[in-house]
Amino acid sequence: MNARRVDESMALISELRERSLEPGYAAAAAKRQARGLPGPTSARRPLVLVVAVFIGFLFAVSASTLKSATSVVGQARDQLTEQISDGRRAGDEQAARVAALVGEVAAARESALGLSGQGSIIAELASLELIGGGVAVTGPGISITLDDSAEAQAGDPDRGAAGFEDGRVSAADLQIVTNGLWSAGAEAVSINGQRLTARSAIRFAGQAVLVDFRPLTRPYVITAIGDPVAMPTTLGASVTGSYLKALEDNYGIRVEINTGSDLTCPAGALSALQHARARPDDVRSAEPSRTITPATPSSSTPSTRTASRPTASTPRRTASTTTEAAR
């Protein structure tokens, strides 16, 4: 009687442990050795071990280098972000200081004119500052919010340098809407807190929409001070109203129009007066000297100039270069 193996119940495991090489491969290796060819390479050979160690070393060095490069890029990005934040903070502080100084100058001017009995000049200056955007305006009006479509928000956030995607709000859209608001009777207009004046510019640079060279982020809130009843009616019946409807229907851009009784358009940046002095008589010049004086603002309603306007039914989704608000 044959004695049973202790591990007979684990025959499959024993087979795998004792004969790890599949029988077909074992037969092929035996034929190879019978023909005088070298046998299968063993992992214990020194050359294989050296190559394996060398490859592992290369992988380790590569991983360390990539980690170091990523760390350097992250540090540089953080430093740039901090510098931008510091620059913006310093700019806001300087802007607040300028606003305070402008207020002091205005108070001193009114005091001097009041003592000299020039009350009419004070009223005229106040009216011109209001028209030119030199002072903040608070009152009733409407606000229009434009935001990218849901598809554009969920997709790639990058915008090409040559233009904007169909589902994204472009500088041209903001130009057209501000044009319509001026035409509808707006007395003051601002976009995301940036007041539009006679020398304002709405443009794009790379992936950003700029108003007076300050980048804006979505959503874009356009605030217009004026009659909260007449403006929505006039705007809805105009080409701009049809344009907004087409943006919403054709491209999924979110358009929201609200009225308010206490809206605010902050003061805009005041432009420095510039002039040219006449040349002396002994200096010859190819063209006659001239003196440049600032144009007197008119009392007409301001408007924003654009190079072209898309049709109301299907607006063209093209990138815009620049626009200037003009009265």
**In degrees, to the nearest 5, what angle opens at C-alpha 31 toward C-alphas 28 and 32?**
85
**pLDDT value at residue 221:** 95
Closest Cα to residue 220, out of 236, 249, 237, 244?
Answer: 244
CA torsion through residues 128, 134, 135, 141, sign = positive
> Which residues lie below 8 Å from residue 45, measured CB to CB, with a gap of 6+?
none
Q: How far apart are CA 260 and CA 76, in angstroms?
A: 45
pLDDT 10s digit of each residue in the chain, 327 long? 556 665 566 666 776 666 656 677 777 777 877 877 766 665 556 777 788 888 988 888 887 777 766 677 777 888 888 888 888 889 888 878 887 887 788 788 878 877 777 777 877 877 777 777 878 889 999 999 999 888 877 665 444 434 456 788 999 999 999 999 999 999 999 999 899 988 888 998 876 889 988 889 889 999 999 999 999 999 999 999 999 999 999 999 999 999 999 999 988 776 665 665 655 655 444 444 333 334 333 333 333 333 333 444 445 454 443 444 433
**pLDDT value at residue 15:** 67
**pLDDT value at residue 241:** 93
Can you read off the two tokens belonging to residue 126? 């106040």
Q: What's at 192, amino acid-wise?
A: N
pTM > 0.85 = no
**pLDDT value at residue 184:** 94
> Which residues lie below 8 Å from residue 248, measured CB to CB, with a gap of 6+?
254, 255
* Burial label, 242 (beta-carbon count in 10 A; 0-12, 13-18, 19+): middle
* Burial label, 199 (beta-carbon count in 10 A; 0-12, 13-18, 19+): middle
pLDDT digits (tens, 9 = 90+) for 255-312: 999 999 999 998 877 666 566 565 565 544 444 433 333 433 333 333 333 333 344 4
